[in-house]
Amino acid sequence: MQLTVLDWTVIAAYFAFSLGVGLYYRNRASRSTGEFFVSGRNVPWWLAGTSMVATTFAADTPLVVCGLVAEHGVAGNWLWWNFVASGMLTVFFFARLWRRSGVLTDVEFAEIRYAGRPAAFLRGFRALYLGLPINCIVLGWVNLAMVKILMLVLGVTKPEALLIVLAMIALTSLISTLSGLWGVLVTDLFQFAIAMGMVIVLGVVAVDAVGGIDQMKLSLAALDQARNQAGQPGSVLSFLPDLGSAWMPMITFLVYISVNWWATWYPGSEPGGGGFIAQRMFCAKDEKHSLLATLWFNIAHFAVRPWPWILTGLASLILYPDLADKEAGYVMVMMDHLPVSLRGLMLAAFAAAFMSTVATNLNWGASYLVNDVYRRFLKKGRDEKHYVLVSKLATVLLTIASIVTTYYMDSITGAWKLLILTGAGTGTVLILRWYWWRINAWSEVAAMAAAFAVSVTLQTAFGLSSDDPVQYAYLMLITVGITTVVWLAVTWLTPPEPEAHLVAFYRRARPAAALWGPVARLAPDVPRTKGAGWDLLDWICGCILIYGALFGTGKLIFKEPLTGALYLLLAALAGAVIYWDLSRRGWRTVLE
């Protein structure tokens, strides 16, 4: 794809603006680690929430969605739509708890909730595990996707694309090192606006390239007929998978909607919140802003963003029906049909999506290495300037490590499967540790170890393959079941945390007292949190709000106005219930 002087000017202007933001927030970020990692805990909800959305909008995301749609139709998105329930759980049951805990990172929580050497081990292990190998795997697949995009768009070789990506990472690292989380948040806002605007433009261009919505529906109907005759039931435009299909049989779909969302750990979709999502909750002004930030993130992530990607994916299926690499269809639509005048902006949009994810993961990973390893175990009692300097060095270290990971990584899909399967079964303990006093540090350690051991054993010794949908379902169910039995047994076989430590946590976080009875009785002066039943109602309404808005928008796009209006009305009613309840009870935690 040939780029004009105007294209390069637009791209250069984008990079210059991003660097300017980093320089602007340089002095503020250097004041303390609190400013560097959580922006002084003074961020409004709309900025924190938009930053969450921007971070999950990586360069590979449109390509992945395009590939899912081209391969399995609109319903292919249930591979990630199932996490709506998990996201809403974080909004109404955990956002305020996380903000109230006052920690700098989510792994620091280990020593707030637990005591002694097991807690210290858990904190240090999770910080190193998440901050280095897991973070580098995530950064590696994001970098690899950008390499793929540049090879297709610019027609360069892989080594040349790696050099371009290296330059982009270096600039992103410089911005993150200079400005800390403030720079990340502000550039995320700008980057999301560019990326979202251009994917909408490309969606419109893609629909026009196939002759409009009506012609798209006719072409896809003909494709459905051909697929049905070939033994592939279902419709490309169906929002739900055909449960007789080979790629999503009933047992697999049931596992996704009833088990996957609460039982598995995955970056950005941790049960109960965690990682960079938790970091954004920590940086919010107060409990209300923490809740609203996560609510806005889930609405934007699941209901606002998908349709431009889906439409481009459907168009690519029509335009390039025999394309072997379905994900590449997204880039081909851009190359073949996007007006020349917009190509520079589109490349800037890909760069924005890439850089927002990289910047967040660098800052988030560095927070683990500095706050939970270096400051906690290696160098205690130094001044804030020392820790800020180390934070910047840790950011550079992660940059180098991610580049090395990218060089040796061959498969994005393989890395994704590794993370989701080794985290299967840990979700229950991550959720219940807030609400049940009896869980201890060994519960979490046992869950992590069992999940890894069981999933690896099932795949190596018993030959279960995550590539087979039915075997994936059994792999998930067995791993979750055994892991849950193991961590529950360990919980009862090991002593509870010391009473004084549990009381201190109860006073600090004020979780619902229902499963904290023995501890709550030791702290009668602490106001009891109430309203769990209403939080459950808000959670249900939140799920209805997301799916109603998502499906309603889709029906309107495909010219089914009555059905679309009914979905959107249902979403509006669910949103009204949430607003009424939280306004009535107060947006912060309600106490007796």
Question: Of 30-39, 167-176, 356-365, where does mean pLDDT reach its minimum?
Answer: 30-39
Residue 168 lies in a domain: yes
Domain annotation covers residue 286: no
pLDDT of residue 413 exceeding 70: no
Average pLDDT over residues 44-60: 87
Q: Could you say which DSSP state residue 342 is in?
A: G
The pLDDT tens digits for 473-495 are 998 899 999 999 999 999 999 99
Q: Which two tokens stand for residue 316?
A: 């690519």
How many Cα atoms occupy the beta-carbon half-sphere of 91 within 13 Å?
Answer: 28
Q: Is residue 477 part of a domain?
A: no
pLDDT digits (tens, 9 = 90+) for 55-84: 888 777 888 899 899 989 999 999 899 999
Task: Report the b/e string of 438-455 with b at 16+ CB within 10 A.
Answer: bbbbbbbbbbbebbbebb
> Residue 323 — pLDDT band, cuts 50, 70, 90?
confident
Please give the Cα distance from 352 to 212 (Å, whole number): 29
Nearest to 299 by CA among 45, 550, 101: 550
HSE at residue 365, side-chain half, CA atoms within 13 A, is: 32
- Model pLDDT for residues 194-206, shown as the tens digit of each residue: 889 999 999 999 9
Could you tell me the residue range of the domain that residue 329 belongs to?
5-44+59-76+119-249+306-412
pLDDT value for 492 = 96
Q: Residue 21's pLDDT band (boundaries 50, 70, 90)?
A: confident
Confidence of residue 590 (pLDDT cuts 50, 70, 90): very low
Closest by Cα among 134, 144, 188 to 166: 144
> Contact 103/109 with Cβ under 8 angstroms?
yes
Query: Has residue 142 been placed in a domain?
Result: yes
Q: Are 262 and 85 in contact (CB under 8 A)?
A: yes
Lowest mean pLDDT among 138-142, 265-269, 270-274, 467-471: 265-269
In a domain, 300, yes or no: no
SS3 105: coil
pLDDT band, very low/low/confident/very high, at 502 (cuts 50, 70, 90): very high
Residue 416: predicted pLDDT: 55
- On whether residue 69 sits in a domain, the answer given is yes
The domain total for the chain is 1
Look at residue 225 and tell me if it is in a domain.
yes
Strand partners, 529: 591
CA separation for the pair 393, 377 (Å, rounded): 17
Tokens found for residue 237: 């435009």
Contacts of 343 (CB under 8 A, 6+ apart): 1, 3, 4, 7, 334
For residue 420, which phi and psi values (nearest 5 degrees)?
Answer: -70, -35
Is the pLDDT assigned to residue 592 strictly greater than 50?
no
- Average pLDDT value for the chain: 86
pTM of the model: 0.89
Residue 106 has pLDDT above 50, yes or no: yes
Banded pLDDT at 554 (limits 50, 70, 90): very high
Choice between 491 and 420, residue whose per-residue pLDDT is larger: 491
- Does residue 451 fall inside a structural domain? no
pLDDT value, residue 591: 40
